[in-house]
Amino acid sequence: MSAPNKSYDPVEVEALKPEEIERMRDEALAAFAAAGDLDELAHAKTAHTGGTSPLALANREIGALPPQAKAAAGKIVGQARGIVSKALATRQSELEAERDARVLVEEAVDVTLPYDRVPAGARHPLTTLMERVSDVFVSMGYEVAEGPEVEAEWFNFDALNFVPDHPARQMQDTFFVQGTSVEGTATTGDESGVVLRTHTSPVQARTLIDREPPVYVVCPGRVYRTDELDATHTPVFHQIELLAVDEGLTMADLKGTLDHMVQALFGPDMKTRLRPNFFPFTEPSAEMDMLCYVCRGESVGNPDRPCRTCGSEGWIELGGCGMVNPKVLTACGVDPEKYSGFAFGFGIERMLMFRHNVDDMRDMVEGDVRFTRPFGMEI
Amino acid sequence: MRVPLSWLREYVDLPATETGRDVQAKLISAGLEVETVEQLGAGLTGPLVVGKVLTIEELTDFKKPIRFCTVDVGQANGTGEPQEIICGARNFAEGDKVVVALPGAVLPGDFRIAERKTYGRVSRGMICSGDELGMGDDGTHGIIVLPPEHEVGTDATVLLELFDEVLDIAVTPDRGYCLSMRGVARETATAYGLPLRDPALLDVPAPNSYGYPVQITDPIGCDRFTARTVVGLAPEARSPIWLQRRLQKAGMRSISLAVDITNYVMLELGQPIHAYDRNRLDGPLGVRRAEAGEKITTLDGTVRVLDAADLVITDNRGPIGIAGVMGGANTEIADPVTDPETGIVTGSSEVVIEAAHFDAISIARTARRHKLSSEASKRFERGVDPQAAAAAAQRCVDLLVLLAGGTAEAGVTEVAAPSAPRTIAMPANHPDKVAGVDYGRETVVRRLQEVGCDVYGQDELIVTVPSWRPDLNEPNDLAEEVIRLEGYENLPSTLPKPPAGRGLTERQRVHRRVGRALAGAGYVEALNYPFIGEQALDQLGLDADDARRRLVKLVNPLSDEEPALRTTLLPGLLGALRRNDSRGSHDLALFETGLVFRPGDQPGVAVRLGVDRRPTDEEIARVNAALPAQPRRAAVVLAGAREQAGWWGKGRPSDWADAVEAGRTVAAEAGVELIISADQHAPWHPGRCAAFHVEVDGEKVLVGHAGELHPRVVKAFGLPARACAMEIDLDLLEKANEGPLKAPRISSFPVATQDVALVVAGNVPAAEVEAALTEGAGELLESIRLFDVYTGDQLGEGSKSLAYALKFRATDRTLTVDEASAARDAAVALATERTGAVLRGA
């Protein structure tokens, strides 16, 4: 803030005639209006609002006016400058909008262009389906248990009540591992007592041996049987197994758990059906079917609405289940008088086939990226 | 087991309206796996009648001999006149009774019979073969010649029982009794709540001492042997149509009357029967174990060398049959032979019937040892009702008397080891507790009685199980019977309450995260078979002593080319890479996570432990020690473009750096930092191979490799040029994880950035330079980034320039330029000391 000016020059007062100020204002307004683009406006801005512009000079003159004239002159000049700067701002934004409209149109791109610079990866649907099923049970409090794929016969068969020479042992076509002597000079047929696990059930036995009841686990994993690969068979496939051992578990609990699973995976009004069957490691045993999630059973006896998914049977076969055979509990050190349990297992390949309309098992095993890629990260 | 519905109705009065599908549903619900219901006679409509061939005119003007016949079909053709029919078959003569399809008939396969001109005559119908009627071939390929007693004009669809339904049941190993009509009928009767006419309820004469002599020296292997003799059999007697048809429908071929009868009784009662030609037996029948090396020629004409564990039937000459599996050729019933001169039929006229009971496991082992699964062995393995032997022998005798005109001898041999009925004690509420349903004692007792049990007791039941149910041994077996008969479909649906779970383990989480991270980086998962052979290891260029050559081998591989399990994930992935490439996908990034199999140093045998108790920890440890190590690994393979060319500009081929980066990605997901160094390791390019190490408990552990594949490997596998690969051990990574990440402290003071370019010898790894700079810069260093690598003339031969951006920042103040420069100088000084680096331009 400078000190008040005492040495004014009365002659100069003439310069601040209102008409002059109006003229300056109008010239500025005309120049802004005439500016066709932002560059021209910038020039006009300098000429009419810059430090050497007439209005700026006039403003400076006010200081030189006698005190009695200052107020009036200040008002006139201030008003004019206000109008000018407002007009400048208005014109500025008009021209910017014009420019933007033009430039942004020029910058427009074709947003429909494809972009596959780094093609997407994907996890295998068998992996993600196994995880999805596991997660249903993990959310119920189950834990995920794992075991070796090259497994001792005792775990794969004996502990599960597959008695030696019982026909049940022949039901599953087993890969046997050669006995090896040192130096790797194996001779065919040496009894090693080791097999490629034919089901995920040995994990049941390992879990029961390792943990104290209550035990609630799911065991997803790879299993092996000596089937040649074709449209509906593969020697290497995946199962998921469930085991619950606790006090007072019943077959009704098994049924409820199965119902919950198919509801979680296929929708709220899904259900399962049990049919008596035989498995050495469960007694009673059952085959489990789920309601066909596509036709909901409506294709049965209705030739006009055939269902491909269930072959118009209304039910889809899932796998085997039952109450854990007390002999299995005994072999694993669980007191069958105190505890009971249920178990079930089914093939992931099969579920993938009917859930996702896969026709040929070979598509799942060949690793063709065209098959796997659409499945993405989750299923 | 194939069960004709018409036959089943003989034992159970099913409502006439019940179809095969209805019965199927009931039996499935009762636990029998009824796989199909075959509709016999589907697509067949008459008129189909019995005809008598009156005349045969041989037409010889054609390529093959053709017969023009006149056939009496009675009034079936409406006129009573002989029917004129052209026939190409030759196995019949004038006077024979045949089956005639008259015009208007439709045979299976939409074969419409009409009057038509052929071979210069008008043929008004067809003389039919079994095949043409959908009966299955009888082995003759000829037309059916009926026994003479059938009247002309009789409806042949009824006579031949052409319309029927056959239930095909896959019998589970516990349900041996359902390998018989008797067993299936029992289940059917129970399912419908109808009475059963048990075909085994026959009057059987008491055993006596003058039957055919039998000596059992192995009463464990054979606890029961019934022998009966029938003499005076008419060799010319043939199996009646009903008998032939029932066998046919059940899937067996009619052979001769005596053999057909033994098969029929086996199907009916489940008891395998063997019939010996008495005139070909030499002395008493015996049952003993074979002597190792003994030989026998079985019915199928094969000479078999016996094992000391095989149970055999003998006479004075030695083994004459493998017990319960297959009879011998030298005592076989002779097929009837007709003397062409005299027309006299000769054949066995005296037979000895054997109905015995053999040890299930012994039969199973013998059948497997000789790869000889027969109808008999199938039944013995699954358990045959020992109490049915006498009835089965009687049924045979009855049928031989009835159908072959034989006379039963009065002698009845029965050798039986003493046995008591088996009982099971079970609390009456046990089935309720297993099912979670309140059945109540009364229901439990009633259902068990329907199964054939005798039940005593109130709260604690004493259950005597029927002789045909060797599978019922434990309370749970009985519970299953009750629950299945009450209907599995009626079980309620309840949910147990598991204790709170702990979620996935760290190992499981790492596994999932690795999959997601690799897929996120553009890799596609492939799940490859783990089978490999030496060839793949040779193709990988592994040295003779490479650990990956020590394989876990299979006794029975699917392919002799791939008889072992993978020791590395790469062969499978490279195979998938090649397959995709050959199918036209060339820009490829694949990954797999899975187990590899490494034999232990001292592989032993995984002994079979007992099952009557939990094995001890030592026993389990010994079993586990016999298993190979099975670490989980992750691997990737790459070929073609990593980034594709497109409207945005150029693409970028995948290279060694992508493979190494995949390793870093995996390790980062496991929360571990890799120590990367140059290595030479098959199958990688010796100059483009990185080794991955991690620190576990202060020790540097090798966890994997990555880089570009060796050109020889690329060639051997037929891969695209410059294919790259990475393989890393996930289990070791998980071990190296040091727990939850420690969050960085974020300073809001300004950053001071200093760039340095260092010239080093070409063979100095950037990782070492960076490590030295990092260490030398001290704790003010916030980050370091290599932003350029330059080699060129300005530097001189064998040198490279590494340009780093160093960011310095303090947590408590704004750094002065001098502080930042001092830190930079310290960094460079240490790099100079460690790696000989020279500040570029200095």
Higher pLDDT, B673 or A57: B673
pLDDT, one tens digit per residue, over B641-653 is 999 999 999 999 9
Cβ distance of B433 and A154 shorter than 8 Å: no
The answer to whether the CB atoms of A170 and B368 lie below 8 A apart is: yes
A–B: how many Cβ contacts below 8 A?
312
In whole numbers, what is the pLDDT of chain B averaged over residues?
A: 91
Residue with the bigger pLDDT between B357 and B66: it is B357
What is the distance in angstroms between the Cα of B477 and the nearest Cα belonging to chain A?
6
pLDDT at A189: 45
Which residue shows structure tokens 């067993």?
B183
What band does B753 get if pLDDT is binned at 50, 70 and 90?
Answer: very high
Are the CB atoms for A28 and A48 separated by under 8 Å? Answer: yes
Which of B365, B627, B630 to substitute to test the interface with A, most A CBs within 10 Å?
B627
Residue A152 near chain B (CB below 8 Å): yes
pLDDT at position B172 is 87
pLDDT digits (tens, 9 = 90+) for B257-295: 999 999 999 999 999 999 999 999 999 999 999 999 999
Between B151 and B412, where is the model more confident? B412
User: What pLDDT, on the 0 to 100 scale, is given for residue B231?
Assistant: 93
Residue A115 clears pLDDT 80, i.e. is over it:
yes
Kindly report, residue by residue over A329-364, the tens digit of the pLDDT: 999 999 999 999 999 999 999 999 999 999 999 999
Q: Which residue of B has its CA nearest to A368?
A: B580
- Tell me the mean pLDDT in the region B544-564: 93
CA distances from B239 to B4, B182, B242 (A): 18, 22, 8
Specify the range with the lowest mean pLDDT, choosing from B63-77, B446-460, B558-572, B772-786.
B63-77
Does B160 touch chain A if contact means CB atoms closer than 8 Å? Answer: no
B214 has pLDDT over 80: yes
**Whether residue A191 has pLDDT greater than 80:** no
Q: Which residues on chain A are in Cβ contact (under 8 Å) with B30?
A: 276
Q: Would you state the pLDDT for residue A190?
A: 53
Substitution target in B19, B35, B444, B476 with the highest count of A β-carbons within 10 Å is B476
- Its pTM stands at 0.83
> Do residues B283 and B315 make contact, with C-beta atoms less than 8 angstroms apart?
yes
pLDDT computed for residue A166 by the predictor: 67
Residue B72 has a pLDDT of 86
More confident residue, B338 or B603: B338
Q: Please state which of the ranges A3-7, B452-456, B498-502, B752-756 shows the lowest mean pLDDT.
A: A3-7
State residue B629 phi and psi, 5-degree precision.
Answer: -65, 140
Point out the least confidently predicted range of A47-61, B486-500, B536-550.
A47-61
Q: What are phi and psi of B839, to 5 degrees?
A: -65, 125
Top-confidence range, A178-182, B48-52, B209-213, B575-579: B575-579
* The pLDDT value given to residue A58: 81
The alpha helices in B336-465, defined as continuous H runs, are 360-369, 375-382, 389-404, 430-435, 441-451
pLDDT at A188 over 60: no
Range from A96-100, B45-49, B831-835 that averages highest in pLDDT:
B831-835
A112: chain B residues, CB-CB within 8 Å:
none
Residue B503 scores a pLDDT above 90:
yes
Q: Residue B797 has what pLDDT? A: 82
**Interchain contact B175–A (C-beta under 8 A):** yes
Measured between CA atoms, the residue of chain A closest to residue B482 is A284
Is the pLDDT at B149 greater than 90? The verdict is: no
| Integer angstrom CA distances of residue B358 from B221, B316, B793 | 5, 21, 92
Chain B residue numbers with beta carbons less than 8 Å from the beta carbon of A170 are 368
Could you read off the pLDDT of A264-314 as tens digits, one per residue?
Answer: 999 998 999 999 988 999 999 999 999 999 998 888 888 888 998 888 888
Interface check for A119 against chain B (CB to CB < 8 A): the answer is yes
- Compute the distance between CA of residue A268 and CA of residue B137 in angstroms, rounded to an integer: 52
Question: Does B748 touch chain A if contact means CB atoms closer than 8 Å?
Answer: no
- Name the region of B231 (left: φ>0; alpha: ψ -120 to 50; beta: rest): beta
Looking at residue B605, its pLDDT comes to 82
State yes or no: pLDDT of A164 exceeds 80: no
Instruction: Test A277 with B31 for CB contact under 8 angstroms.
Output: yes
A338 interfaces chain B, CB cutoff of 8 Å: no
**pLDDT band at residue A187 using 50, 70 and 90 as cut-offs:** very low
The predicted structure's pLDDT at residue A167: 61
Report CA Rg, chain B.
Answer: 41
Q: Which one of A177, A182, A283 has the shortest CB-CB distance to B480?
A: A283
Contact A330 B642 (CB under 8 A): no
Task: Give the tokens for residue B706.
Answer: 């990555």
Q: Residue B10's pLDDT band (boundaries 50, 70, 90)?
A: very high
* Chain B contact present for A352, CB below 8 A: no
Question: Distance (Å, rounded) from C-alpha B15 to C-alpha A326?
Answer: 41
Question: Are A367 and B526 in contact (CB < 8 Å)?
Answer: yes
What percent of chain A is helix, strand and coil (3-state, nearest 5)?
Answer: 45, 20, 40
Does B239 contact chain A (CB < 8 Å)?
Answer: no
Chain A neighbors of B178, CB-CB under 8 A: none
Determine the pLDDT at residue A184.
42
- Looking at beta carbons, which pairs linking A137-140 to residues 24 or more positions away fall under 8 Å? A137/A216, A137/A218, A137/A242, A137/A261, A138/A218, A138/B501, A138/B503, A138/B504, A140/A216, A140/A260, A140/B498, A140/B501
Structure confidence at residue A6 (pLDDT): 56
- What is the predicted pLDDT for the residue at A170? 67
> Is the peptide bond between A284 and the residue preceding it cis, with omega within 30 degrees of 0?
yes
C-beta separation of B322 from B296 below 8 A: yes
- Whether residue B501 lies within 8 A of chain A, CB to CB, comes out as yes
Q: Which residue has the higher pLDDT, B797 or B21?
A: B21
pLDDT above 90 (res B147): no
B contacts of A327 (beta carbons < 8 Å): 474, 611
**Residue B19 sits at the chain A interface (C-beta within 8 Å):** no
Confidence of residue B138 (pLDDT cuts 50, 70, 90): low
Q: Do the Cβ atoms of B488 and A276 come within 8 Å?
A: yes
Report which listed range, A125-134, A161-170, B745-754, is most confident. A125-134
Contact A38, A93 (CB under 8 A): no
CA pair distance A51, A70, nearest whole angstrom: 20
> A186 pLDDT band (50/70/90 cuts)?
very low
